[in-house]
Amino acid sequence: MFELREHFQKFGRLAAIFTTWLLLSGISRGPNKANFGLKDLQTTNMLQTMPPLSEIPLSFYLLASFFVCSVVGGIFLVRYLHNKKIREGLEQIAEDQAQLAVDSEFEARQVDDEERDYLIELCNTRDPEKLLPAIMSTEKFEQTVEDFKNSPRFSKSDLPKIFMLRKSLQFTFKNAEVGFPCTQMLEAGTHLEFQIHHRGKNIVFMSSILDSDETQLLIKPPTVKRRPANIKQFKVLYCKIRRGNDADYEFKFNIIGQLVTDINAVILKHTNEIRKMQIRASERLTMDLEMDFQLVTAKQFELEQQFELGKLQHHKLSGIIKDMSAGGIKVQLNELPPQGINKGDVFLFHLPYASLRQNLAATVLEVIQSGGQVDLHFMFRDIDMLTHMKLNQYLHRRKLSMEAA
């Protein structure tokens, strides 16, 4: 192709040179003379021997036009084929890179061949450039699922396949690297905070997911006087959940029913109407709560947690919790212990009536000595979502109790 292009270019240059020579070869560059003789009637170039334009046959013009058009068309054809070849090469490179990315993602997530084929069926294409967005984005995957469910290709037998494919692609709530567009991403065992709006009051309770599929999930109902509460009398359950340091999420479930068998579960319908909110600092509650603490260094605490050494030697001391939030506490001591207290040290304590099985751990952020007393500011450490929710509930109950008093 490149040789053909070069031949056309050479031919064009030779034609231009030859035409210019014909036009200029008969021009006399000597001084003008007044004398005129028979010699002047003699032809000096090829153009002068040509017949008048009116006597040239039409076929000559047609052939000349065809020749010129062929040359010009040939040049454009060569350029078009050259650009087409480059474009096809780039498209092939892009397709190969997309296929490599798709295969790499499948391998990294350990997606088997059957699930790969089902994703192709779900997306209705084998084009890797169109498959890749559905693999990399939960939002794109859920949109693809929604389009598939609304198409004539969908049947109810596809529901468990879609549910399992979502898990295989690691589109779960625990994966903070992906979005959270639907509650089908919640897995069994996940703890959530629920609210029931009833007669102007908000009833808050904690529960966990017992089981889930593509259309609904089951949660454990709260207990009232050691018996499961009748949740099916309500229409909606409001839910809140936090994902690490990502965000708080709020949504509501429509209540389908309640099982009264041995498992006793509330049936909720999945939703994709989820509101994402920034993590807000919890309300700080003023109090005067006497508390017994155990003081350990940060290094000792980490060793105990890492190697499960149990309780080593802890220094015991007492103080007063002056305020508390779900993120930390402020403690007042009458005096420092003999070894002192340094930033990074850890206080361990048990918070009664908070429904916590384990001790809370708080890291010293600041030590302020004033007027013979010591104020310590702490931040809770290693707080999981369930503990955070229970702390908020404890503070809410204590606030209501203080307001009632």
The verdict on 204 and 246 lying in the same domain is yes
Residues 364 and 396 placed together within one structural domain of the fold: yes
- Reported as a pLDDT band with limits 50, 70 and 90, residue 52 is low
Distant-in-sequence, close-in-space partners of 216: CB < 8 Å, separation ≥ 6: 256, 267, 268, 269, 270
d(Cα 399, Cα 405) in Å, to the nearest integer? Answer: 10
The answer, as to whether pTM is greater than 0.75, is no
**What average pLDDT score do residues 210-224 get?**
93
In a domain, 84, yes or no: no
When divided into structural domains, the chain yields a total of: 3
* Residue 326 clears pLDDT 90, i.e. is over it: no
Helix 2-24 × helix 58-108 angle, to 10°: 150
pLDDT at 280: 61
CA distance 273 to 250: 9
In this predicted structure, which of 57-71, 189-203, 389-403 has the lowest mean pLDDT?
57-71
Q: 309 pLDDT exceeds 90?
A: no
pLDDT grade for 231, boundaries at 50, 70 and 90? very high
Q: What is the pLDDT of residue 347?
A: 96
Inside any domain, residue 326: yes
Q: What is the pLDDT of residue 254?
A: 96
Same structural domain for residues 208 and 163?
no
For residue 343, what is the DSSP state? T
Q: How far apart are CA 41 and CA 93, in angstroms?
A: 69
Is residue 305 a part of any domain in this protein?
yes
Percent of the chain with pLDDT over 90: 42
Q: Please give the mean pLDDT across all residues of the chain.
A: 83
Segment 192-209 mean pLDDT: 85
Same domain for 209 and 289, yes or no, is: no
Residue 85 belongs to some domain of the structure: no
Evaluate whether residue 59 is within a structural domain: no
Indicate if 193 and 159 belong to the same structural domain. no
Q: What is the mean pLDDT of residues 222-240?
A: 89
Range 72-100 average pLDDT:
77
* Cα distances (Å, whole numbers) of residue 317 to 55, 288, 320, 356: 123, 16, 11, 21
Same domain, yes or no, for 377 and 298?
yes
> Which pLDDT score, from 0 to 100, does residue 27 have?
46
Lowest-confidence pick of 100-109, 245-254, 262-271, 310-319: 310-319
Domain of residue 153, residue span: 113-168
Q: Is residue 355 assigned to a domain?
A: yes
Distance CA 379, CA 381 (A): 6
Quick one: 211 and 301 in the same domain?
A: no
